[in-house]
């Protein structure tokens, strides 16, 4: 019987699962697209991971992170629910113990995390602006008609870079179209986009922050070698892209779950069979006050297990006990 811990990162673009053994060796990783349906994505991911892991495993603990962490925690019965920043920090520290800077670029947000003496010292996070995120690159790759996986290698082929305005996704796009029409090479334009993105990131998030090596680059965009090179060029130092760069959040959640279970002694995990459970969400607009909160009700196998979304707490605070499960 193999003992494992599971880390789950439900992000806006991807849903990732990592299985780790008690010696912190990574047994398996899974990366699938969320496609705006976190519940289905997570179910799908669990079906796959259940098939892939051998039957004789025992899950000792589960941690969740990412913007869908609370939802995932209710679905799975997680031992710990942690924000992405802490999870990414923990994972990076585990791989490069003296890491001082983490550059994390995901699908919908980007973060910079500064660490000193093995703890998170400062961080900044960007969510409102799309210019510095993976979905912007995704869209531009689509516009250029090249698969996102080849984006980075193409950028490396560039010989004379083209400067593209990186401050805002809208400006960048019109600037790019303009440069295209002038007849610039596709490689040069792609490289220009990579550099614009790195520049925008550093101007936005890195402003006033002391970026010291070792620098780790993680998140989905870290797979893009063109962006990595752009960062190296601007920062003038080597950048480490860890082997599991795209699932670092999930690795962090795993490590945190391991610590948590070591404290509590027992996991709250509901079992791998949750992949076969049915999950339903109903929502309604509460009419008790002018806030008109959209209250969400979450059902597992037709049983109401949680409510959230209300400002005042009069729905969310109701302990969903056996009795009102029957009522619902």
Nearer to another protein, 118 or 271 (CB): 118
Say how far apart CA 263 and CA 184 lie, in whole Å. 59
- Please report whether residue 307 would count as binding another protein according to CB under 8 A: no
**Binding-site size, another protein (CB under 8 A):** 23
Contact 245/215 with Cβ under 8 angstroms?
A: no
Of positions 62, 78, 85, 91, contacts another protein by CB under 8 A = 85
Phi (first) and psi of residue 80, to 5 degrees:
-145, 140
Nearer to another protein, 79 or 84 (CB): 84
Using alpha carbons only, give the angle 98, 17, 122 rounded to the nearest 5 degrees. Answer: 35
Of positions 48, 83, 186, 277, contacts another protein by CB under 8 A = 83
- Please report whether residue 86 would count as binding another protein according to CB under 8 A: yes
Of positions 27, 120, 146, 156, contacts another protein by CB under 8 A = 120
Q: Supply 195's token pair.
A: 């550099």
Part in contact with another protein (CB under 8 A); list of ranges 159-167, 178-186, 204-212, 266-274: 204-212
| Alpha-carbon separation of residue 48 from 16, 23, 43, 220, 252 (angstroms) | 11, 23, 9, 20, 21
Q: Supply 137's token pair.
A: 């690159």
Q: Reading across the β-sheet that carries 14-21, which strands appear in turn?
A: 26-33, 14-21, 2-10, 57-65, 80-81
- Please report whether residue 290 would count as binding another protein according to CB under 8 A: yes
Part in contact with another protein (CB under 8 A); list of ranges 112-120, 129-137, 151-159, 171-179: 112-120
At closest approach, how far in Å is the CB of 147 from another protein? 30
Residues that bind another protein (CB under 8 A): 67, 82-86, 109, 117-123, 125, 127, 207-209, 289-292
């Amino acid at each position: 019987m193999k003992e494992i811990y599971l880390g789950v990162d439900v992000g806006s673009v991807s849903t990732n699962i990592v299985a780790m053994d008690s010696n912190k060796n990574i047994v398996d990783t899974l990366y699938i697209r969320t496609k705006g349906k976190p519940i289905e994505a997570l179910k799908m991911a669990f079906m796959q991971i259940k098939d892939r892991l051998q039957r004789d495993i025992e899950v000792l603990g589960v941690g969740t992170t990412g913007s869908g962490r609370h939802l995932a925690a209710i679905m799975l019965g997680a031992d710990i629910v942690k924000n992405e920043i802490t999870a990414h920090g923990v994972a990076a520290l585990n791989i490069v113990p003296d890491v001082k800077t983490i550059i994390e670029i995901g699908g919908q947000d980007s973060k910079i995390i500064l660490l000193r003496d093995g703890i998170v010292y400062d961080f900044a996070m960007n969510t409102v602006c799309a210019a510095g995120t993976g979905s912007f690159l995704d869209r531009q790759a689509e516009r250029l008609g090249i698969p996102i996986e080849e984006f980075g290698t193409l950028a490396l082929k560039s010989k004379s870079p083209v400067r593209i305005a990186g401050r805002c996704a809208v400006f960048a796009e019109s600037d790019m179209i303009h440069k295209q029409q002038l007849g610039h090479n596709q490689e040069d334009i792609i490289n220009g986009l990579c550099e614009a993105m790195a520049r925008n990131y550093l101007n936005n998030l890195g402003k006033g922050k002391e970026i010291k090596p070792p620098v780790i680059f993680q998140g989905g965009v870290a797979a893009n070698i063109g962006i990595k090179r752009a960062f190296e060029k601007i920062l003038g130092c080597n950048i480490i892209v860890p082997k599991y760069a795209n699932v670092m959040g999930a690795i962090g959640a795993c490590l945190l779950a391991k610590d948590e279970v070591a404290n509590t002694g027992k996991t709250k995990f509901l079992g791998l069979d949750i992949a076969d459970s049915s999950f339903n969400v109903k929502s309604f607009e509460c009419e008790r006050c002018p806030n008109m909160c959209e209250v969400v009700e979450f059902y597992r196998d037709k049983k109401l297990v949680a409510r959230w979304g209300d400002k005042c707490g009069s729905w969310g605070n109701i302990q969903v006990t056996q009795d009102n499960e029957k009522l619902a």
